[in-house]
Structures are given as structure tokens and as C-alpha cells.
Amino acid sequence: MARTKQTARRTAPSNASDDSGAADGRLAKFKNAFAKDGAISEFVWKWRCKLFGNANAGSDEDSADEDEVGGDPVSKIMYEGPDSSTWNYNWVDYPPKQISKATAREHGRVAIKVFKVKDHEKQCISGRLPLKYHSIEVQNLAVVSALAPIFKKQDYHISETESATFNAPFHVLYFCQDEIKQLHNGLAKDDILAPYLKLFVDSMDSVLKDMHTKLDNLGSSGLISFATIWTLFPRGTTVYSTDLESEFLGKVTKADYVTTSTGESFLQIGVKVLRFNGESFVWATKMLRLNSFSGNKPIKQLRHYPIGYHSNIATVYDRLQSRGKMMLDLQGLQYRCYNNVALYWQDSKSVSKHNVEGRILIDVSGYQKYQDDDLHRNSRRKSSKRRNEDEDDLEDWGVGAWDDSDSDSDAESVNPFSDTSSATSYDSDALGPDRDQPEKRTLRKQITESQCQRNKDMMLRRKDDLPFLYGLVGGYALKTKLWVEFYIEDIEPLVWNDTAYSHLVYDEQQKDLILSFVQHHSFANVTPAAAPALPDTTPSDSSSTANDDADASTPKRTLAPIEDVIVGKGQGLVILLSGPPGTGKTLMAEAVADRTHRPLVYLQAEDLGTHAGELGTRLKRLLTMAAEWNAVVLLDEADVFMAERDPNNIHRNELVSIFLRELEYFRGILFLTTNLYQTIDPAFRSRVSLHLLFASLPRDARRKVWHNFLSRLAPQSLAPASGEASASAQDAEVVRDGAAPTLSEADLDEIGLWQLNGREIKNAVKMVRTWCDHKGYAMTLDRLESGIRVTNPCATKSAEVDHDLYE
């Protein structure tokens, strides 16, 4: 028992020691647990904040006094430490372990380095990933110097004084491999460069081996994958494209993969195309886009692909060369007809389609000037709308019903052309005139006919470049009032309506007076540099008066304009046409414009707006464009802008004042029509150059109008419509099948008794002709009178002399 107690006493210190060791072990384990990644510091900091608060939160290390911060003239280099990442660096004050100098010298002596990385896109087998080529680094400067001129052809530039690195997928090596091999094969065996270049060729073949295998397998079937699609577009390749539903050819400048912030990938192809910039034909850059796709795709189904894959290359070149020749005749300002879809850029990223019918103006320099203003304005509006999502959009800037951005997965998403160095800058008329200073308005200059001919001759000598002329041209749609791009192949010549002037029933002397003023105005009041190159000849016809013939034989004299006291004011020709409806006011402006071969800009109040802010901007813009085109402006039913001002109607007074101000500085030709002459503001009457009064049509005038409309009708076919019985003999007298409908002199005298205006006569003739053609009837006096009673039941028939309401 005693020995047991002694043993116990002897072993007791040992047990205490064990307990102490166990405690130390637990403490060490505790410290190690918290010491990982600095957790012990975080642990201490957390409890300090709980015990003492965090009012003076700062580092748990002793920090220097404010006076001592930066006080030591010592610099310290910090290094990226362990467990660091690109988004969260762990800085330490000691450098990582580096390779030895001997190893560094060994790496530096090799001519070529090939780097491989794990391929995470492939399957991992037994915990091991296959390797893929990452990059090639050429350290031998002799090889770099030999390769530099070859890569330069692909617009890839390397310095000959330092090593060159090529990264996967090795675009430039793929496109230049044949020329590099030719360089190697052309070296003599004893050339000092030969072994180094052979080494590079072998390395290049190794990294491109998998690519060649893929392309060989796909090429035999005419397929391509998105991963290898870039191989179709080496620099200088001719690409066939149907972008924006217009086929064209372009020369590749670059092709790169692009990944957006949303993770969307696509191939962006830069191509050069020829386009007219308002002065000359230049090469411009257009960006094409091929969206990513899964699997393989036939090359011919791509929206853009090399012309060599096309099944009928010669036909494409011939077709595009013919279209290019058409473009040579669309330089400068050209008045044409169009009947198809045109493209309107709402902003730099979205385009809409608009149906355009009728007359258009091809004006590339005007498109560049005014469409750029539209793009900037619409962009500002969209930005403002994004900032104020709850605000209503009160203005309509012509967004079309068809949006091309969603019509095809490969559709162009950005405004295609980049700015060119030869772009012409113009004086801006964005700001209103200074009321205290005379306004200076400079009209945009048009390219001259001699410049157009020089450009045409130059392009005809470069026939190989004609197919590369772009298929769209900018201009103005007169009906929709939009600057759009037209498809060149759908632009047609304009046929002038020279007979409309002779069919206008009005006093011949006054007609001739108006015609003479309009013919003369552009030469008298517009400087030659600003006058567009539009034809100004008056074609002869059988209905021309003796005065017309005399004018044609008399040399035209250029009269010096009578300047206002303030330079630039009062140089416009403002013609007021007043009278009842249907008396020929609108026809007068249209007939004069066609007779003088000038564009007609037809405006109504809705085109200008009835808000003071938009009226001034739109009116100034439209009048400036019309003056640049040497066009005739017709503002139909302009009563709202010319009405006499009322002290109790401030809003209308503001509209009238704005209109008066713009009219004062307008230099072109303006026709104004109104039915309410008595209500016109006196200030407007004083600014009118000529005033023509249109009275209600007298009997002789109505007879002539009936004769004019009937004589213009096409020959009548008396075959009845399907399912209808033919006209019986007792229905009416029948004219020969295929003859023009005519009435006797007595019939014309009789139908002239109906008190109708010109518009009502036109409507009656139109309706009766449709009825007769459908039934197979001849147009007779009885049927025309029946048509009058249906189209205008309130019309009266009287032989009395008409009273002029305006007298």
C-alpha cells in the first residue's frame, strides 16, 4: 500500500505534465485554427470592437502618428503574396521565390518558346486534363526581323528589336503560313537563318495541326463551325454580303471575335466598300457581324462569306458592276422617282423600313448633314427617355412599322459606316437668328457638273472597282419628309409633267408672269455656288403661247438682285394664291414647278407643328433645304400661320411672329395658298411678292376644264366586267371600242353649265369613268350628269353668269 502511494506520488507530476502538454496542444491547435489567413487578427479585432466599441475603428497594429506618416525617406516594395487573386491581391513585403540565374540564362538562350495550358473545354479523364497550345514566343531577333514584313501585309506589326509573341488561336500565323514556308524554302542550306526558321516552321505546323484537321473534315462538305469561321476572312479577301437586304462586295481588313458584357459572342468583320461622300468616291469601312451558332453551318448560308464560295461569281460581278454605273449618275443633286422600301436610321443602332412612293431627291451631302442632326437628336431623346421612364413620348420621328434589327439574327446592329477623313463640314443653322444683328445664312454648296464628270471618268477607268460600290445612297423622300437610304437599283428616272402647265385654266398673261419670275429667281437672288445643278430649260410643246416662244428665242439676262437695307433679307420670292377651293391654286404651284424642272416641297401645317418651339426649328430646316435644292415650296392651306394676330391669343401670335421672321430671311421660292384672304395679317401681305386671285370658275373656264380632263383619259375598252351583261343599244350611243371618250361641242357647252369647281369636275369624271369601264358603257353627257348628281348632289345647273365672291 505504501509503495502504491509512493508510486502515485511519483506519477502525479507526470500527470500534471501531461495535462499541461495537452493544454498547450489545444492552445496551439486553437491558435493554428485562427492563424490561418490572418484569422487570429480578425478574431482579436472582433472582440476588441465588442468590448471597447468601434468609434475609433482602425488597424489593430500600432499606427504612426499623423505627423509621422510618410516621414521616413524610405521606399518599400510590396509583392503579390500567396493566396492572391486578380480581384483581391494579397500584398507582402518579401519577393516570391524566383528561378535561378542559371535557369534564367538557359531559358533566355532558346530561340523559340512554346507554351501549353490545360484545356478545360475538353473532358477530364482520371483527374487529368489534356493540354492545348497557348502561345509561341520567338526570341531570336533574326527570325523576328525576317517575319516582320510578312505579318505587316496582314496589318499585324511586330518590333524587330524585341521578341514576338503569338497567342491562340494564331490568326496571323494561319493566314501567313504559306508565305513563311516559301521564305524558308527559298533560303540556302548554309544560310545562318535556315535552322532557326525551320524550327519556327515546325512549331507553327504543330500549333496549327488541329486547325487543319478540323478544316479538312468540314471543307469537303462545305461546312464551317463558329470556332473556325475566322479562317474564311484573311485580309484582302472579297466578301459577298446581303446585309440590310442589299447585296454588295467588300474587301476584308480584319476579323475578330467580340464578346459583349452579357456574354454574347460574335465575329466582327471589317470590310472596305466604295461610296460617294458628296465630293468623290472613297473607300469607307463597314462593320459586318456574324452571330455565334452551335454545331456546323453551310458556308453559303452565312450572311457574309467569301465570293469564291458563290455558285455564280461572274453573274454577281456583272450585276454589281451595272449597279455601280448607275451610281455614277447619282452624284450631286438628282431628282428621281422611287417605289420601294427605304431605310431610315432612327439612331446609330436601330434602322426601320419605310415605304416610299413618288418623287425623291438624291443628295448625299445633304444626307450627311441633316441625317447626322437627326441621329444626334434622337440619341438625346432616347437618353432622356431612359432617365425619365415615366414620361410620355409626344413626338413622332418616323419609326417604321418594320424593325430590321429583329428580322435576322445576323442583322447589322450599328450604323455601318465610320467617319471618313474627307467628310465635309457645313455651317450649322441650329440656332435662331439674333434679333439685333443681321442673320448670315450660308447655303450648302453642291458638287459641280464638271466634278461629277471627272469622278465618273475616273471610276469608269477602274472597272474592277465598280462592283465594290455600296448598294444604298442617301437622299430625301419628298412625300414622307424623311432623310433615308434608297436602294440604287430601284431608283428610276423622273418624267416631268410638262402638260400640266398648259392644262391649267387661268389668265395666260398672269401664268406667263409667274413662270418668268420662278425661272429667273434662282439666277437673280441665289449665288451660283449655292444653286444646285438642276435643269432650268423650258421644254416646248404645242400648247405654248407666243410669249413662250419669244422667251425661248430671247437670250436670258441675269439681273442684279435688289438688296434690302439689311443684307440677306427680302431675297425670297413669295407668291400668295387665294381663292375658293378647287379653283387651281395648288395646281398652279405644281404646274410651275414641273414646267421649270424644279423639285416641289409640299408642306402642310402638320409637317411644321403648331408648337412655337418646334415650328421655328422645322420651318427653318425645311426652307434652308429647299433653298439649297433650288426647289419650289408649296405651303398649302397656310391660314393658321397667316391669320391676323389677336391680343387675346398669345400662342397664335407667337406662331405668326416665328413664321414672319423665317419668311424675312428665306431666299427661295414659296407658294402660299389660302381660302381666307381677308383674315391674313397685314404684316404677311407686305411680305408677299406676287398675289394671284383665283375666282370661282366661270362657264367658259368650266367648259375648258371638262374638256381637259376628258381629253386626258385613256382609250375606253367597252368589254363588260365578268358576269355583267353588255350595254344595250338603247342605253346610250356607243363609241368605237378603244377610242378616247369624247363629247360634242354642244355637250361640252351643256355640261359647262354645272356650277362646279375643278376638284369636283375631276372627281365626277373619275367616278363616271370607273362606272362606265366596269359596265362596258360609253361615257355620254347623260351619264356624266348622273355622276354629278351622285358625287355632288348640291350642285346646281344654271346659264346665269357666276358671281365672283372675291370682288
Q: What is the DSSP string of 369-381?
A: IIIHHHHHHHHHH
Q: Can you tell me whether residue 166 is helix, strand or coil?
A: strand
Whether the upstream peptide bond of residue 555 has omega within 30° of 0, thus cis, is: no
Q: What is the mean pLDDT of residues 298-313?
A: 93
pLDDT band of residue 378 (cuts 50, 70, 90) is low
Which has the minimum average pLDDT: 286-295, 416-425, 462-471, 597-606?
416-425
Q: Worst-scoring range by mean pLDDT, 181-195, 378-392, 647-661?
A: 378-392
**pLDDT at 50 (0 to 100):** 54
Determine which of 77-81, 198-202, 234-238, 240-244 has the lowest per-residue pLDDT on average: 77-81
Say what percent of the chain tops pLDDT 70: 72
- The SS3 of residue 803 is coil
pLDDT of residue 770: 87
Q: Region 150-158: what's the mean pLDDT?
A: 91
DSSP calls for 222-277:
TEEEGGGGGGG--TT-EEEE-GGG--EEEEEEEEEEEE-TTS-EEEEEEEEEEEE-
Summarize the confidence of residues 774-798 as an average pLDDT.
Answer: 86
pLDDT of 115 over the 70 cut:
yes
Confidence class for position 492, pLDDT limits 50, 70, 90 = very high
Helices (H), 310-389: 313-328, 364-366, 372-387
Give pLDDT, residue 479.
93
Least confident of 173-187, 371-385, 778-792: 371-385
Task: Taking residues 684-706, report their average pLDDT.
Answer: 87
Q: What is the pLDDT of residues 526-540, one digit of tens each?
A: 433 334 444 444 444
pTM of the model: 0.71
Query: What pLDDT sits at residue 529?
Result: 36
As a whole number, mean pLDDT of residues 60-67 equals 54
Coil, strand, or helix at residue 318? helix
- Alpha-carbon dihedral 363, 366, 370, 372, rounded to 10 degrees: 90
For residue 134, pLDDT over 60 is answered with yes
- Which long-range contacts link 723-730 to residues 24+ away (Cβ below 8 Å)? 724/774, 724/775, 724/776, 726/776, 727/775, 727/776, 727/777, 727/778
- 313 phi and psi, to 5 degrees? -65, -45
Q: What is the percent of the chain with per-residue pLDDT over 90, rounded to a whole number? A: 36
Cell representation of residue 452: 461629277
Q: What is the mean pLDDT of residues 743-768?
A: 86
Q: What is the C-alpha end-to-end distance of the chain, expressed in Å?
A: 154
Better-predicted residue by pLDDT, 379 or 497: 497
pLDDT given for residue 287 in this prediction: 92
Residues 6+ apart with CB under 8 A from 626: 599, 601, 632, 633, 668, 669
Q: Is 751 exposed, middle or buried (0-12, 13-18, 19+ CB in 10 A)?
A: buried
b (16+ CB within 10 A) / e for 430-451:
eeebeeeeebebebbbbbeeee
Write the CA distances from 8 to 11, 13, 111, 557, 651, integer angstroms.
5, 9, 78, 141, 115
- Pick from 587, 590, 589: which is nearest to 573 by CA? 589
Q: Average of pLDDT values for 140-163?
A: 92
Poorest-pLDDT segment among 95-109, 207-221, 268-282, 325-339: 95-109
Question: How far, rounded to the nearest angstrom, does the alpha carbon of residue 236 sit from its chain's CA centroid?
Answer: 26
pLDDT the model gives residue 719: 52
Instruction: Supply the pLDDT for residue 390.
Output: 39
Q: Using one digit for the tens of pLDDT, what is the confidence trace for 574-595?
A: 999 998 888 889 999 999 999 9
pLDDT (0 to 100) of residue 10: 46
The full set of domain ranges for the chain reads 109-219, 230-383+402-424+443-490, 499-556+567-693, 699-791
Residues 26-51: tens digit of each pLDDT: 555 555 554 544 555 555 655 555 56
The answer to whether residues 593 and 600 touch, using CB atoms and an 8 Å cutoff, is yes
CA–CA gap between residue 567 and residue 282 (Å, rounded) = 38
CATH of domain 499-556+567-693: 3.40.50.300
Q: How far apart are CA 720 and CA 777, in angstroms?
A: 8
Confidence class for position 400, pLDDT limits 50, 70, 90:
very low
* 641 touches 542 (CB < 8 A): no
Determine the average pLDDT of the residues in 610-618. 83
The span from the CA of 68 to the CA of 66, in Å, is 5
| 175 pLDDT above the threshold of 70 | yes
What distance in Å separates the CA atoms of residue 785 and residue 539, rounded to the nearest whole number?
37
pLDDT digits (tens, 9 = 90+) for 438-482: 344 456 678 899 999 999 999 999 999 999 999 999 999 999 999
Tell me the β-bridge partners of 85.
88
Q: What is the mean pLDDT of residues 382-411?
A: 36
Asked whether the beta carbons of 307 and 468 are under 8 A apart, the reply is no
Mean pLDDT lowest among 2-16, 463-477, 565-579: 2-16
